[in-house]
A and B are shown apart, each in its own frame.
Chain A
Amino acid sequence: MGSKAASVTILAVALAISAPALGQDEGAPPEDAAADTPNDENAEVAAETPEDDESASMPEENTGEEEAPEEEPAPYTAVVVGRRPLARDQSADATDVDGETLRSSARASTLEAVAQEAPDLYVSGRGLGVHGVASGASGAMAVRGLSGSPNSQILVVEDGVPDYQGIFGHPLPDAYVPELIDEVRLIKGGDSVLYGTNALGGVLLIRSKVLRDDGIELTNDSSYGSFQTVRERLSLLVKRGDWDLSSAFSALRTDGHRDGTGGSNMVGHVGVGWTPTSGLRIVLRDRVAHLEGEDPGPVTHPNDGHWYDVWRNTTSLGLEYRQGPRFSLDAISFVNLGVHRLYDGFYSEDYLFGGRVAAYIRAHETLRLTLGLGAEGVTGEVEDRAAGEVTDVEGSATLYFFNQLEWRPLSWLRLIGGTRELWSSEHDFIFLYKAGLRLLLPGGLTVRLRVARNYREPTIRERYLPFPTANPDLRPEFSLNVDLGLVLFVGPVEVSVSGYRTWADDLIKYFGAWPSAEVVNIDHVEVFGIEAHLRVVDLGPVRLFLGGSWQDVGRYTRQNPAAKVNGSIEVGHRFGRHAISGSLSGEWVRGLFQENYSRDPIADVFFLDLALRYSYRLDAGVSFEPYLLLRNLTNNRYEYIRDYPMPGINALLGLRISYDPPPRRPDDGSGTN
């Protein structure tokens, strides 16, 4: 199928899928493939109750007005509001990170902040939060030995929309800013049944904040630091009656710690939700990102003027509908487009578009069924404006159906299985599957087991673009992931251990260097490893996290470390209007190589970051929070990418001002719902 034909087909299917749902007066609700149960493993028991799940997904149904007692008004109204779950597969190994943790992290970028909480997620860096694109870029994610070239084997799904570039097939790490993030869930071991292509090694689900009660929340976070780094984050959330607004603007500009490492990232995000009737919500979102910077080159041979200039925009229209506790539906259509310009004349326009409808059915008290149908397509144009040459590329399209069944035959046992059947314009029919179980044992012990077959389609770049070479005959990559995990909760202590093994076939690898490079499918790869962590929460004023991972990735060692340890200790105290907190966090990475076959070893990475915060809250709901971030406290010289050293000790001094008035009591006449 030609690219235009494929594009038209997909667009038509996407619209056709979305249109009926939009036409219905009883639409659909939650995001993406979200689950019926809370994400927090602690909340598992609560999730078993019939009232759990989707009722929490419609904000307007969880307002204080409905829950507050009429007589004997209490000074505070406690409302338990379940959160819309991020993922539906409870047998998957996952790490959840809430948005506030990301916002207050000392790490320089959102993905690095997630990696700080997940020892089995490795994210490379090269500076003060500007990862960049093309040669010399960082921000590559690797989960369980899978990453891609660079990030195409890890899928990012933001508010239900798969986020990757149409041509290069990977997400842009600089486009994720924490200001509007409600929660992030990292699914280890991938899940192509629910999420499709690129979910080979992992899936990063991002959910944006939405106000659930009438009100306004305004936050401004400005900071200035070493190397003329300026960071500005502004967010505004409003809910008034049937309408809600979630918006954020984030800008980061730095000179960088050496020539060429400077740059700027600007990201704007706006979402408008409308709830015309109970159970139905329509959401329009748009995110635009403008990234500018350079590839500084290796420290021994710096580049001069290797700049990039990237514009990206993602628009989605979603519809969420819930009909009682037994049925819900969501539909979403999206377009993700980007324009990339590089110093050498490279110019590209790329498009990712599609649509999906998913129904969540509780067929019986013990059976939950997820059914989905959708389509997705990628295409683009590439030219060398310096030479005046245009490279012919051919887009691709997929149509798919997926299903997942969760059966709870016993109160302590969940069995989960699912399949995805898809047709690809390039690779015909593909069948994917998964199966898992989850046991809730006495004493707070949870056991998980899951097997999942995942896949990734070759990107347009790998098939057509000579960067440094292409191969139009590439086959899709497949992986079979098996993992077994134990989680134990004892009071404030959580202990988790997971072991995994991945068999991957037809992985796409580049060999050699330009002009004699080649890109081919390789035969078979096995990766195995183990991850464990200890988390202590609410132990007086102290919170503690220590986690580590070890893996054997075989021959393909490029940017896949053998071991990684993350730790943090946080101490906080609130007294009246005042609160102070401090955290010390660090990362240690071992067995890091710049190339495959254990070539070009990179010295162990180790650093410590310190964050100090003080906050003061006024009655009017205004709070001031000055803070200081000291990164690389011990001034170590380390690098993730060979000859791209990270900055020495550096500081960021900021002030966060929030306006978040406390909700007025329901009996004061202020409620509008």
Chain B
Amino acid sequence: MYGGVSARPLVRRGALIATALAVIQCLGCDELYPEVIVINEIDDEVLVKDISYSGCLWDEVLAFGEASSPGRCLSGEDRVHFARLDAASYCREQVEDGTIPELCFCDPDDAPEADPLDTGLINETPQWFNYQTVTSYEAGAGDRLVVRLTLDDMEQDFSVPGPYGH
């Protein structure tokens, strides 16, 4: 009792408001997910795609210096997984294989010998290799995480699941 007035209604009201706030907070709990951005700083000749981190998957191809759109990912710890393509190397191989007749080597000494090629070995499909960061990044609710992919902090990723399901 306080000043002849019961404090109970106030306590009840307070508890009700607190509960309502907690519920509203929970209903919108996806908004509390950490925001994650990935930037490709590996090399100016390397493209990156299929970037994933803690439940986020970016459907983008990042050239050197480009950043992904912000993704709302699950809280927790994970490495950044991605597929990389060395575009210059790919282009060089295709020129060597003669699949791009419009292109030739700037320095004729770089050109391969004019041996007839086994066309069966020529692969025109770009080979994207799976990599992941060596560092594992942690992000919690409400955090903003910017991950810079660099040549020093990446390794091949053999944990990619197989193609198989059902």
Contacts and interface: CB of A to CB of B under 8 A. Distances in A.
B165 A295 contact: yes
Contacts of B76: 299, 637, 645
A302 interface: yes
Contacts of A303: 57
B166 interface: yes
Interface stretch (A98-106, A556-564, A646-654, A664-672): A646-654
Contacts of A301: 52, 81, 159-161
A258 interface: yes
Interface in A198-250: 224-227
A457 to B, nearest CB: 19
A299 B23 contact: no
B57 to A, nearest CB: 4
A615 B166 CA distance: 44
A257 interface: yes
Interface in A19-34: none
B68 interface: no
**Interface majority SS (helix, strand, loop, mixed), chain B:** loop
A298 interface: yes
A468 interface: yes
B2 interface: no
B4 interface: no
Contacts of B52: 300-302
A226 B165 contact: no
- Interface size band for A: 35 or more
Contacts of B22: 630
A648 B75 CA distance: 9
Given A257-B74, A637-B75, A296 B55 contact: yes
A297 interface: yes
B143 interface: no
B71 to A, nearest CB: 9
Nearest to A346: B166
Interface string A279-304: 00000000000000001111111111
A417 B161 CA distance: 48
B26 A650 contact: yes
Nearest to A515: B164
B165 A134 contact: yes
Contacts of A572: none
Contacts of A649: 26, 29
Contacts of B28: 226
Given A514-B163, A630-B26, A259 B75 contact: no
B29 A650 contact: yes
Interface residues of B, number: 29
A136 B164 CA distance: 11
A449 interface: no
Given A258-B74, A301-B159, A514-B163, A226 B26 contact: yes
Interface in B66-82: 73-76, 78-79, 81
A156 interface: no
B54 interface: yes
B44 interface: no
Interface in B37-59: 52, 54-57, 59
A258 B36 CA distance: 14
B68 to A, nearest CB: 14
B121 interface: no
Contacts of A514: 162-164
Contacts of B159: 300-301
Contact of A651 (B27, B55, B160, B166): B27
Interface string B67-100: 0000001111011010000000000000000000
Interface in A26-59: none
A542 to B, nearest CB: 22
A300 B78 contact: yes
Interface string B115-148: 0000000000000000000000000000000000
A297 B160 CA distance: 10
Given A259-B56, A299-B55, A302-B55, A648 B29 contact: yes
Interface in A298-325: 298-304, 306
B79 A135 contact: no
Interface in A597-648: 628, 630, 637, 645, 648
B26 A467 contact: no
Nearest to A304: B57
Contacts of B56: 258-259, 302
A304 B54 contact: no
10 contacts: A135-B164, A259-B55, A300-B159, A302-B55, A303-B57, A342-B166, A628-B19, A637-B75, A651-B23, A653-B23
Given A346-B166, A468-B166, A648-B75, 7 more contacts: A134-B166, A226-B27, A258-B56, A299-B74, A301-B160, A302-B56, A637-B76
Interface of B: 19, 22-23, 26-30, 52, 54-57, 59, 73-76, 78-79, 81, 159-166
Interface of A: 134-136, 224-227, 255, 257-260, 295-304, 306, 342, 344, 346, 461, 465, 467-468, 513-514, 628, 630, 637, 645, 648-651, 653
Which 10 A-B residue pairs are closest in the complex by CB-CB distance? Answer: A135-B165, A651-B26, A258-B55, A467-B166, A514-B164, A302-B57, A299-B55, A134-B166, A468-B164, A226-B29
